[in-house]
RNA sequence: CGGGGCGUGGCGCAGUCUGGUAGCGCACCUGCUUUGGGAGCAGGGGGUCCCCAGUUCGAAUCUGGGCGCCCCGACCA
């Protein structure tokens, strides 16, 4: 491709709303352009990267016998009502009406449509398993789209769905997809981690996320050298080391205006890990739940939602706290709260003696003991895991890192097949719901993640497999006939070798071309200028180290082919 | 959903408080010079100042309504 004929316009400045590096670089390098909040046009240069990733994805999935199809992006409401997600998905589901007023939605995912298709086509266990995928645009009306392609509303995703006669068959496909995803991310040259994950509103049992490690990621991961790794939404820990406490009789102490754990901790001279933090939650079913956790730790609200089997637990209002505890916010404790359901995290349950609110204005209780002074209630893990916590498998100290969720695989079980009557006849002639799995991979997000992980101050440093072009051929002074003749010839030869080459034949000054070259980050660069050419040399370098090698004109092609490989 | 901020050529901004008919840098076009790390000089094109209504002789500027966009928060007992 000759740059002079191409649609690639770089910019020196970026819109002020672009904050993360991949977003800035994708705009500056002419890959994407914003149309509306979280909605982007992918320009030709960006499109090439996406296509390269899609090709890798297809190759690895096809190798696992997954079959590509294409489903509509506009889906009828009836299917979503059947699965129950027309209500459950909430505002993220973009709903539209056609000219007759019939309700549709723009697909955020395609479980309903694929399940509807399969229930109509497949009757027998002999036709199972099947694994079907598409690479198709999705729309999710996110609360807060941000970071360009990292969290867009409209985005390109590969989604796959498998159907099985039994759990063993699902296990095999799940493993296949796990391996395919590993192959895909490895092929892209990305530093990634597979972690245990919560299933969120997709539903189902077992689930893993593929995280590209980057500080700008929106997910927290804890991991251990032994191999355990999990999203903090899901992560469990070993028992926390118990703090040393003095034992004594329960006693009320005055703590005027000392509301937060930090304040009371300082006021009483006791560390925060000797406290029990008591929080009141409500949810859509309006039951108030009292939750206790150790004073220095945080509640994982995803775990709480799962424990309560609700969608969104929310903290009780100040008025509700006043009504139930009889005290303003800041003085809640488990002692004497008989009316409400009490859930205690193991971190709090393990305390031999602790400090908590007295359910009375300006007062706390010290030396409280479970069993003696207050019933323990249900002990359920609600802890938000953090760096330094013990690994649940081996007990070693875990680390915390951040990652970008680029892939997510689920064992769905029968959630959709039961709701939608997607059944088959087994060998005994019994009607059974199919067991399902689903597997997502964000195409645009993975490309953004690749940039997040591979760049420097001057621009993108593409991993070769995702690079829009493999070789950038620069003619420094295309007006000079010798230079342009040599460059034209090399360009033709590279094309003949099947190499993706971008030929910078623009009539720009050298400085502009070098800056652009660094910005767009093509892995291999060949520079032809009259200075080198007078000695019969072409300068070849790679973007990742920019080390310059002068190569004889006659050897340049072979060298470039070697580096491109 | 709550809080804050912003909408002025393609991009980044000034002008708004104190109303008088729009400007700067980058980008773009033409010419000359320059040509190995975002050149110089000269000339030039491009804006219903987000939209609607109102006040006024006069509105980018004041008032009201709407739309769009961004950031922060949704972390506490």
Q: Angle at which helices A44-63 and A443-453 pack, to 10 degrees?
A: 110
From the Cβ of A425, is strand B under 7 Å away? Answer: no
Residue A201: per-residue pLDDT: 59
Residue A202: per-residue pLDDT: 59
Name the pairing type of β-strands A219-223 and A229-231.
antiparallel
- How long is the CA A461 to C1' B12 vector, in angstroms? 26
Q: CA-to-CA distance for A97 and A506, rounded, in angstroms?
A: 49
The candidate with the shortest Cα–Cα distance to A400, out of A387, A419, A383, is: A387
Q: Are A512 and A491 in contact (CB under 8 A)?
A: no
Q: CA-to-CA distance for A489 and A528, rounded, in angstroms?
A: 11
- How long is the CA A459 to C1' B6 vector, in angstroms? 28
Residue A302: per-residue pLDDT: 85
- How long is the CA A24 to C1' B70 vector, in angstroms? 15
Closest nt to A325 (CA→C1')? B77
Q: Angle at which helices A553-564 and A481-496 pack, to 10 degrees?
A: 40
- How long is the CA A145 to C1' B71 vector, in angstroms? 12
Strands (E), A140-227: 154-164, 192-196, 207-213, 219-223
Q: Which of residues 247-306 of A touch strand B (CB under 7 A)?
A: 259-262, 277-280, 295, 298-299, 301
Q: Which of residues 340-399 of A touch strand B (CB under 7 A)?
A: 357
Closest nt to A531 (CA→C1')? B36
Which tokens in the block code for residue A324?
A: 């139930």
Burial A253-278 (b: 16+ CB within 10 A, else e): bebeebeebeebbeebebebbbbbbb
Closest nt to A508 (CA→C1')? B35
Q: Which of residues 122-161 of A touch strand B (CB under 7 A)?
A: 143-147
From the Cβ of A58, is strand B under 7 Å away? Answer: no
Q: Are A506 and A515 in contact (CB under 8 A)?
A: no
Q: CA-to-CA distance for A388 and A473, rounded, in angstroms?
A: 50
* Residues sharing a CB contact under 8 Å with residue A91, sequence separation 6 or more, in sequence order: A141
Mean pLDDT calculated for residue range A246-260: 87
Residue A204: per-residue pLDDT: 63
- Is residue A328 predicted with pLDDT exceeding 90? no
Closest nt to A384 (CA→C1')? B75
| Chain B, protein-covered positions (CB within 7 A) | 1, 11-13, 25-27, 34-39, 68-77
Interface pTM, i.e. ipTM:
0.90
Name the pairing type of β-strands A154-164 and A192-196.
unpaired
- Is residue A285 predicted with pLDDT exceeding 80? no
At residue A158 the predicted structure's pLDDT band, cuts being 50, 70 and 90, is: very high
Mean pLDDT is lowest, of A179-188, A213-222, A343-352, for A213-222
The candidate with the shortest Cα–Cα distance to A486, out of A528, A514, A451, is: A528
From the Cβ of A211, is strand B under 7 Å away? Answer: no
From the Cβ of A472, is strand B under 7 Å away? Answer: no
Please list the residues that pair with A537 across neighbouring strands. Answer: A552
The candidate with the shortest Cα–Cα distance to A133, out of A39, A83, A61, A205, is: A61
Write the secondary structure of A204-259 as one string of H (helix), E (strand) and C (coil): CCCEEEEEEECCCCCEEEEECCCCCEEECCCCCCCCCCCCCCCCCCCEEEECCCCC
From the Cβ of A89, is strand B under 7 Å away? Answer: no
Q: Please give the full DSSP string across A510-559, using - where no structure is assigned.
A: HHHHHHHHHHHT-SEEEEE-HHHHTTTEEEEEETTT---EEEEHHHHHHH
- Is residue A501 predicted with pLDDT exceeding 90? yes
- How long is the CA A138 to C1' B7 vector, in angstroms? 29
From the Cβ of A217, is strand B under 7 Å away? Answer: no
If you measure CA to C1', which residue is closest to nucleotide B10?
A11
Proportion of chain A above pLDDT 90, given as a percent: 70
Q: Please give the full DSSP string across A341-397, using - where no structure is assigned.
A: EEEE-HHHHT-SSEEEE-SSTTEEEEEE-BTTTB---EE---B---TTPBPTTT-PB
Mean pLDDT calculated for residue range A103-132: 96
CATH of span A251-379:
3.90.960.10
Return the CATH fold of A469-564.
Rossmann fold (3.40.50)
Closest nt to A232 (CA→C1')? B75
Closest nt to A34 (CA→C1')? B69
- How long is the CA A36 to C1' B55 vector, in angstroms? 35
Which tokens in the block code for residue A491?
A: 């360009």
Average pLDDT, chain A: 92
Mean pLDDT calculated for residue range A421-439: 97
From the Cβ of A324, is strand B under 7 Å away? Answer: no
Residue A215: per-residue pLDDT: 83
Q: Is A289 helix (H, G, I), strand (E, B) or coil?
A: strand
- How long is the CA A488 to C1' B33 vector, in angstroms? 28
Which tokens in the block code for residue A423?
A: 């059944």
Q: CA-to-CA distance for A354 and A345, rounded, in angstroms?
A: 14
Q: Are A156 and A136 in contact (CB under 8 A)?
A: yes
Residue A360: per-residue pLDDT: 87
- How long is the CA A147 to C1' B3 vector, in angstroms? 21
Burial A302-318 (b: 16+ CB within 10 A, else e): bbbbbbbebeebeebee
From the Cβ of A427, is strand B under 7 Å away? Answer: no
Tens digit of pLDDT for each residue in A522-546? 999 999 999 999 999 999 999 999 9
Closest nt to A474 (CA→C1')? B36
Of A462 and A38, more confident? A462
- How long is the CA A405 to C1' B50 vector, in angstroms? 36
What value, to the nearest 5°, has the Cα angle with vertex A299 and ends A295 and A304?
A: 140
Burial A325-337 (b: 16+ CB within 10 A, else e): bebebbbbbbbeb
- How long is the CA A4 to C1' B44 vector, in angstroms? 24
Q: Is A9 helix (H, G, I), strand (E, B) or coil?
A: coil
In this structure, what DSSP letter does residue A95 have?
E
The candidate with the shortest Cα–Cα distance to A92, out of A115, A114, A109, A112, is: A109
By the 10 Å C-beta count (0-12 exposed, 13-18 middle, 19+ buried), A110 is classed as buried
Tens digit of pLDDT for each residue in A168-213? 999 999 999 999 999 999 999 999 999 998 876 555 678 999 999 9
Q: CA-to-CA distance for A72 and A338, rounded, in angstroms?
A: 53
Q: CA-to-CA distance for A20 and A10, rounded, in angstroms?
A: 18
Q: CA-to-CA distance for A484 and A529, rounded, in angstroms?
A: 9
Mean pLDDT is lowest, of A302-311, A339-348, A385-394, A423-432, for A302-311
Query: Which option is the CATH number for A47-71+107-235+400-451: 3.30.70.1520, 3.40.50.300, 3.40.50.720, 3.30.930.10?
Result: 3.30.930.10
Residue A240: per-residue pLDDT: 92
Closest nt to A320 (CA→C1')? B77
Which tokens in the block code for residue A134?
A: 């598409």
Q: CA-to-CA distance for A465 and A338, rounded, in angstroms?
A: 62
Q: CA-to-CA distance for A340 and A382, rounded, in angstroms?
A: 18
From the Cβ of A496, is strand B under 7 Å away? Answer: no
Residue A301: per-residue pLDDT: 85
In this structure, what DSSP letter does residue A329 have?
T
Nearest 10 degrees: CA dihedral of A36, A38, A44, A49?
180
Closest nt to A292 (CA→C1')? B77
Domains A47-71+107-235+400-451 and A469-564 share a fold: no
Domain ranges of chain A: 47-71+107-235+400-451, 251-379, 469-564
């Amino acid at each position: 491709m000759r740059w002079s004929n191409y649609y690639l316009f770089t910019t020196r400045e970026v819109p002020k709303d672009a904050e993360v590096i991949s977003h800035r670089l994708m705009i500056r390098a002419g890959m994407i352009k914003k149309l509306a909040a979280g909605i982007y046009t992918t320009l030709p240069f960006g499109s090439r990267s996406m296509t390269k990733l899609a090709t890798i994805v297809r190759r690895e999935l096809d190798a696992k016998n997954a079959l590509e199809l294409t489903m509509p992006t506009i889906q009828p409401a009836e299917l979503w009502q059947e699965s129950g997600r027309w209500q459950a998905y909430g505002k993220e589901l973009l709903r539209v009406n056609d000219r007759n007023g019939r309700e549709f939605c723009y697909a955020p995912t395609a479980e309903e449509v694929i399940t509807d298709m399969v229930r109509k086509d497949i009757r027998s266990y002999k036709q199972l398993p099947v694994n079907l995928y598409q690479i198709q645009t999705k729309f999710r009306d996110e609360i807060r789209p941000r970071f360009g392609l990292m969290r867009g509303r409209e985005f390109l995703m590969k989604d796959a769905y498998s159907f099985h006669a039994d759990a063993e068959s699902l296990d095999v496909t799940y493993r296949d997809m796990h391996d395919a995803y590993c192959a895909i991310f490895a092929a892209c040259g990305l530093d990634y981690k597979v972690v245990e994950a919560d299933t969120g509103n997709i539903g189902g049992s077992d689930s893993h996320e593929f995280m590209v490690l980057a500080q700008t990621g929106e997910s927290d991961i804890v991991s251990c050298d032994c191999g355990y790794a999990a999203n903090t939404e899901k992560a469990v820990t070993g028992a926390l080391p118990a703090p040393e406490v003095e034992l004594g009789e329960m006693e009320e102490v005055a703590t005027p205006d000392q509301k937060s754990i930090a304040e009371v901790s300082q006021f009483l001279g006791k560390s925060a890990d000797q406290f029990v933090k008591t929080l009141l939650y409500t949810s859509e079913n309006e039951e108030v739940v009292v939750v206790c956790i150790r004073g220095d730790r945080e509640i994982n609200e995803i775990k709480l939602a799962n424990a309560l089997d609700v969608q969104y637990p929310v903290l009780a209002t100040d008025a509700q706290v006043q009504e139930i505890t009889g005290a303003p916010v800041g003085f809640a404790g488990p002692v004497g709260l008989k009316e409400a359901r009490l859930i205690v995290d193991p971190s709090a349950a393990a305390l031999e003696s602790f400090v908590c609110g007295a359910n009375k204005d300006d007062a706390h209780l010290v030396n409280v003991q479970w069993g003696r002074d207050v019933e323990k209630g249900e002990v359920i893990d609600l802890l938000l895991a953090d760096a330094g916590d013990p690994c649940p498998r081996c007990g070693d100290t875990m680390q915390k890192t951040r990652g970008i969720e680029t892939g997510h695989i689920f064992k769905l079980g029968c959630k959709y097949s039961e709701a939608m009557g997607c059944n088959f006849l087994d060998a005994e002639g019994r009607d059974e719901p199919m067991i399902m799995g689903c597997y997502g991979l964000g195409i645009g997000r993975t490309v953004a993640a690749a940039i997040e992980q591979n760049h420097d101050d001057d621009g993108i440093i593409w991993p070769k497999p995702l690079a829009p072009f493999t070789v950038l051929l620069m003619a420094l002074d295309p007006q000079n006939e010798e230079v342009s003749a040599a460059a034209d010839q090399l360009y033709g030869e590279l094309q003949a070798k099947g190499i993706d080459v971008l030929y910078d034949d623009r009539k720009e000054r050298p400085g502009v071309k070098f800056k652009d070259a660094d910005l767009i980050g093509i892995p291999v660069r060949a520079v032809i200028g009259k200075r080198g050419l007078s000695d019969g040399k072409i300068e070849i370098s790679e973007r990742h180290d920019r080390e310059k090698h002068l190569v004889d004109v006659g050897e340049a092609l072979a060298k470039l082919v070697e580096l491109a490989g």
